[in-house]
Amino acid sequence: MATHYVARELLALGHDVRQVPPAYAKPFRQGHKNDFRDAYAIAEAVLRPSTRCVPVKTDDQLDLQALHRVRSRLVGQRTTVINQIRSFLLERGIAVRQGPRFLRQWPAAEFGGCLLAFVRRRRRRHRAGRSTSAYSHALALARSDTIACQRVK
């Protein structure tokens, strides 16, 4: 179970809860790592007045933190895809500046028969077929175009 959930449950039962980050408890561990020595190190760290404890987070705070993490991951994935498309276009001799707005400014007609036409052609073939999931679509692509899907050596 997650520490913040357990801490909230213990607070509801009337206990004094202090959460110690593992980095603060690690210097107090003696010998090899095991559960008993970890518990002893945590107890030792909590008793020190200089050890900073983590405040217990509410459900709303955890939800907001999860939202920020998901958004950060999506932004990173978007950046990865944009850079990959830019590199594909650069291999075709089309240079596009960094950032999503510059990629959006290019009309699809200027890309000619390269990446976007390839994707559109594959989507049309996919819609005509029976496969429904992204996995089955990728599998169908790999089976239909084995030469294009092989690793370049």
pLDDT tens-digit map of 70-100: 999 999 988 888 888 888 878 878 788 888 8
Distance CA 82, CA 13 (A): 51
Q: Is residue 20 part of a domain?
A: yes
Distance CA 53, CA 104 (A): 47
Average pLDDT on 115-139 reads 57
Whether 35 has a pLDDT exceeding 70, the answer reads yes
Hey, which residues does 125 pair with through a beta bridge?
none
Average pLDDT on 44-64 reads 88
Check whether residue 102 and residue 112 sit in a common domain: no
CA 65 vs. chain centroid, Å, equals: 13
What percent of the chain has a predicted confidence (pLDDT) above 70?
A: 68
Average pLDDT on 26-51 reads 87
Q: Is residue 144 part of a domain?
A: yes
Residue 102 and residue 96 in contact, taking contact as beta carbons nearer than 8 Å: yes
3-state secondary structure (DSSP) of residue 52:
coil
Q: Output 135 or 28, whichever has higher pLDDT.
A: 28
Amino acid identity, position 104: R
Check whether residue 19 and residue 42 sit in a common domain: yes
Q: Is residue 43 part of a domain?
A: yes
CA distances from 28 to 23, 45, 54, 105, 116 (A): 10, 7, 18, 58, 58
- Name the residue range of residue 30's domain: 3-47
Residue 152 confidence (pLDDT): 37
What percent of the chain has a predicted confidence (pLDDT) above 90?
A: 16
- Per-residue confidence band for 68, with pLDDT thresholds at 50, 70 and 90: very high
